[in-house]
Structure 1
Amino acid sequence: MGQKNILRKAYSDFAYFEAEGADGEFVEDPNPARNNDFSYDQNVTAGYLSYTFAFLENYTLKPGVRYEYTTINADFRTEFVADIPSYGTWVPSINASRKLKNGNMIKAAYNRRIQRPSLRFLNPNIEASNPLQISQGNPELDPELTDNYELGYSTFIKGTTLNFTTFYRNTTGSIQAIRDVLDGGIISTTFENIGQEQTVGANIFANVNINNKFSLNGGFDLYYAMLDNGLTDPQFAASNEGFVVSGRIFGNYTLPKSWQVQLFSFARGRQVQLQGTSGGFAVYGLSMNKQFAEKRGSVGFGVENFLAKEFIIRNEIVTPTIIQNSVNATRNMNFKVNFSYRIGKLSWISVQKEESQLIMMT
């Protein structure tokens, strides 16, 4: 059992300037729609409770519930007022497992997830860096709620742990883009809680200990997405469906004198959206770390996307009034230095041998 509080604060000072005269002096655009301040304060207070118990020798059940109460205050420099009422949300979960022979296990689970909108979806300031394609967020968006059902099986084969999971997810109030064509052929985009998204898929995860120095783990996801905004107006009604594939891998090699080399990569194929598709992408990284103080601390450095090649992402928008294809070239190379040190003692308490709970004691 426990309680947590999350305080989020976002602030946006937004203005447009236009060059005037031969000297190119920049003057602020007098249009109030293009100049505004936006302050967004979100306070989430939550309490949660779960209980794990065993029965019939090989069975384990863990029900749980979390209650969240959210208050939001959005303030603007202009006269625009966002009336966002406070709201409470119940987030239940239940996990069941049965131990099989040879350490194998079968699991079933249900849980609800809450996904609050990001600042990109909330910010009402008009983004018009491309004057032919503008976008505007909606500060009155509600969070997305997803009911997630899973059935999994895990096994251990000669130093390799394998987990197979099938799932069904149903998201209501999905945040989706609404696009319209304004005078002059300008494409305008905003966001509403109008979507319903259902996904059916499977996941495979493997953890391989090749020897006492080299280990690999990774996963592969495949699911079929079905999206519908539930509107009846032919100009705005939309639905789409299709497969989405993604995968990830992480490798760790231990060198002498407590040095480690780590490599990771993630890739996702084309993603189905309500109106069209978003192109696939990939990221990768390499890092080296040295552990010290009996492995309580580590220091290291790393690089990501270090080959300096462009990632080409192709997007497509298809609506009754708009057909648009775009190509984005992204460079995202970066270098980082990291340091970590663990304070306190980590203790592992075994529950029926196959489950564990981590407790931090300081």
Structure 2
Amino acid sequence: MKNGTLTLLTAILSCPLLVHAQKPASLHITGQVADSASRKPIGYATVTLLKAASLQPVLNTLTDEQGRFTISRLSAGRYQLGISSTGYAARILEAFTLDSLHPYYASPPLYLPAAPQQLKAVTVAGQKPLLEVKDDRLVYNVENDLNKDQLTAAEMLRRVPIVTVDPEGNVQLKGSSSFKILLNGKSTAMLAKNPKEALRAFPASVIKSIEVISQPSAKYDAEGAAGIINIITRHTINGYNGNLYANDNSRGFAGAGGSLNARIGQVGVAAYAGASYFRNKGRSEGLRENYLYGNQSTLIQNGNSIFDGTYYFGNLELSYDLDSTSSLSVYGNVNISYNSNNAPQQVKLYDERQKLEQTGSYTSYTNYKSQSYDLGLDYQKRFRQPDQTLSLSLNRNNGNNDQQSDNQQLNVPGGYTGFSNTNDERNTETTLQLDYSQPLPHGQKLETGAKAILRTIESSYQQQGEMSITRDPANPDRNNTFNYRQNVLAAYTTYAFKIKNRVNVLLGARLEHTHINAHFIANDTSLRTDYLNFIPTANITLPLPYMQAVSLSYSRRLQRPWVWNLNPYVNDNDPNNITYGNPGLQPELNHSFGLNYNILFKGIRLLAGMDYTFTHKAMESYVAIDTASGITATTYANIGRRSATGFNLNVSVQPLPRLSLSGNIRIQYTSLQSRNGTGLHNTGWSANSFVNLDYDLGKGFKTEASFYLNSSQPVLQGRTPGYITNSFTLRKSLFHQRAAVNLTLDQPFQKEIAWRNVIHDPSFYRSNTFYYPVRAIRIGFGWKFGQLKESVTRKKGVKNDDVKQQESGSKP
């Protein structure tokens, strides 16, 4: 096995051509923008560099107070400049060439005439639309969203096509929880451990854009079966700038923070930091009916919960240009959270004749403490030939997660039981990644790379009794230490070329070898496994006239289980419904096909697509009932086969100069078939939709209305809940658009939402309904300062896309 792995890795890595580096010429553009009537400079005008052939934006910058701008560090090519500013008609200049013979383009003075109203061309040329299509990804430009100063990252994700976020903060991509979330193109401990809590505490105000890659190429890790969500916080233009923000919410959420970007000579600094507090209050109603012969019963549970969380985060990146072709960056981040959950409940148990058999009064108080630290180093080398690059990345992250719950349970008859559960978890991840890109003649391009990911997890859990009549003070069956090591070695090659200089083709191959070693200390039990996966990918794009394009894609993906799927720690805070992980889980394997079409015509952007994914050894949560005690237990299993067919449609249009309308909808049919002997299966349709309207009232006032619908979705033993949300926002710009105040009303027509989860099979029926308050008033403030000219960040980062996200539908 090892010799075969080495041979295949060597074969993949031997594909790229060897090229000698040469010192490049510095390609750059300068110019000045002024008023066509007064000839006075126009400060802070938007200058957009466009590809001449397609008018696709390459990057944006702003003019300084004297109207001057400089764009440097460019690749050779043929370009055009687009100029726009509020109150002026936009211009697109004639095409020009940058190459080794023409390394410098000095634009003549660029005069803009005044415009009686904003033109649609300004939106197309000067400002990025909310939604863009770039190569293999959808890009949602958060920086242009009206509500960015008061929404969290989780709330902002609801606006992104093919992404859903339920009221508890669980995220799904294409209806699946098997995906990966990256921050600036790299894996971080905070998002790997608990993405739900991290995203609902992370502010949208420091996010530039959100990228969705639903069909990743072989360059990306094979894991993340449904795709990748990449959150970008860095900015494409800089010199020095920053922002400060603060927001508050009548429902119990508050946050504040800021960011700073600066460059002095060859040294750049990019940083952001903040803190947030949130409180989630609710009540619950539970019903469980046991159909077991000889043990038929009905259990009714009613309770309340108060979840409090405090979250602190910070990120710092230092970059240094070693010379005109090489850069080095060091980055790190820290995330600390303290959470607690107080959940008392009342219980009534009835026998098969509906006679009251037992009553119970339970209290459960849980404390969570999480700390994660990341440190990374990136080196990038750019060669003379455009797009020829070499990069080396090293990343190390550490996470400490401690949980303790104190439980008191009084049953009549039955007596009193008191106990505490603790689970102390330590995890580390070290990643080394090497990437090389080599352009070839006639528009061809070859990319190759190698990667190693070394992961360790240690979970020490125990249960301690307290004057228990049913438990010993120390429970040896519930005390253990779980050590888990996972090493992944990978190599890839992608090859891009054109057919008849029109059809774009990207082919890829990736090979991943995984070694796993798990050990239980208390009973000295070990679990070892190795597997090798070959991952082919393909993407074909056909540009059509009138800004149209059609693309067809295929990828084979896998999803490895992660700590919350594997950890056998038993959570019995609710003694009638317990949960635990399954250390014997195997990775799930899937094949994914996609067909997409997009068009930009007369200011209307339309994106349509369909996808089909079928999965073998699908990992799903599974609920079983104990025939003797009647207790239900939730764990994970490789159930068998899961398939999903989805249809997506996104439309954005500006019917009036001051009115913008956008919306997206996804419809999906899902089929789940258990092949583990239970005979369970389920099928059904689901849908989600988001509609947003923006209107410019003039004099710095803007208003927005948004509506979101997510229907219930089939799972193996039932359906997840559905829900509807809406919000209305008024925004006022201040201080020449450098500051803004937002006022938002959430769910004005609904006080609370009923979140109902139903699970059933032939032996039992279980429903849990959680009621959350949703009506709220938000207020947010944001202030931008400084002037940016060129990119500060040099960070490339590592992309670990390969672990299963936390299961959707779990309670906070």
Q: Do Structure 1 and Structure 2 share a fold, with TM-score over 0.5? A: yes
Equivalent position of 2:760 in the other structure:
318
Equivalent position of 2:465 in the other structure:
18
Q: Secondary structure at the match of 1:16?
A: strand
TM (norm. structure 1) is 0.74
1:57-111 residue CA offsets vs partner (Å, 9 max, x unmatched): 4312111122222223333332152413122222211111222221212211111
Equivalent position of 2:624 in the other structure:
179
Q: Among residues 170, 186, 190, which one is paired with 2:614 in the alignment?
A: 170
What is the rounded CA distance, in whole Å, between the counterparts of 2:568 and 2:458 in structure 1?
A: 11
Report the alpha carbon displacement of residue 209 of structure 1 after superposing the two structures with TM.
Answer: 5.8
Letter aligned with residue 571 of structure 2: E
Q: Among residues 537, 558, 566, which one is paired with 1:93 in the alignment?
A: 537
What is the rounded CA distance, in whole Å, between the counterparts of 2:612 and 2:473 in structure 1?
A: 49
1:318-339 residue CA offsets vs partner (Å, 9 max, x unmatched): 2121111221235799999999
Letter aligned with residue 597 of structure 2: Y
Q: Secondary structure at the match of 2:564?
A: helix
What is the rounded CA distance, in whole Å, between the counterparts of 1:300 and 1:62 in structure 2?
A: 45
Matched, 1:227 2:672: yes
What is the rounded CA distance, in whole Å, between the counterparts of 2:452 and 2:743 in structure 1?
A: 33
Listed as ranges, the matches of 1:202-213 within 5 Å are 202-208=647-653
**Contact 1:224–1:244 (CA under 8 A) maintained in structure 2:** yes
What is the rounded CA distance, in whole Å, between the counterparts of 2:531 and 2:705 in structure 1?
A: 43
What is the rounded CA distance, in whole Å, between the counterparts of 1:339 and 1:84 in structure 2?
A: 54
Letter aligned with residue 101 of structure 1: P
Equivalent position of 2:173 in the other structure:
none
Q: 1 or 2 for the larger relative contact order (CA 8 Å, sep ≥6)?
A: 2
What is the rounded CA distance, in whole Å, between the counterparts of 1:8 and 1:265 in structure 2?
A: 41
Structure 1, unaligned runs of 5 or more:
22-26, 347-358
Letter aligned with residue 685 of structure 2: F
The 3 A distance-change label for structure 1 pair 263 and 319 is same
**Contact 2:547–2:601 (CA under 8 A) maintained in structure 1:** no
Equivalent position of 1:351 in the other structure:
none
What is the rounded CA distance, in whole Å, between the counterparts of 1:303 and 1:77 in structure 2?
A: 53
Equivalent position of 1:117 in the other structure:
561
Letter aligned with residue 539 of structure 2: N
Matched, 1:244 2:689: no
TM (norm. structure 2) is 0.36
Equivalent position of 2:281 in the other structure:
none
Report the alpha carbon displacement of residue 211 of structure 1 after superposing the two structures with TM.
Answer: 8.3
The 3 A distance-change label for structure 1 pair 311 and 18 is farther
**Contact 1:300–1:339 (CA under 8 A) maintained in structure 2:** no
Report the alpha carbon displacement of residue 304 of structure 1 after superposing the two structures with TM.
Answer: 12
Report the alpha carbon displacement of residue 34 of structure 1 after superposing the two structures with TM.
Answer: 2.1
Equivalent position of 1:188 in the other structure:
633
1:228-249 residue CA offsets vs partner (Å, 9 max, x unmatched): 0124x4xx21011000112346
Listed as ranges, the matches of 1:136-151 within 5 Å are 136-151=580-595
| Larger gyration radius, structure 1 or structure 2 | 2
* Higher strand fraction (1 or 2): 1
What is the rounded CA distance, in whole Å, between the counterparts of 1:151 and 1:262 in structure 2?
A: 32
The 3 A distance-change label for structure 1 pair 213 and 223 is same
Number of residues of Structure 1 aligned to a counterpart in Structure 2: 337
Matched, 1:268 2:713: no
Letter aligned with residue 643 of structure 2: Q
Identity percentage over the alignment?
Answer: 26
**Contact 1:345–1:360 (CA under 8 A) maintained in structure 2:** no
Letter aligned with residue 17 of structure 1: Q
The 3 A distance-change label for structure 1 pair 255 and 10 is farther
What is the rounded CA distance, in whole Å, between the counterparts of 1:343 and 1:183 in structure 2?
A: 70
CA root-mean-square deviation:
4.3
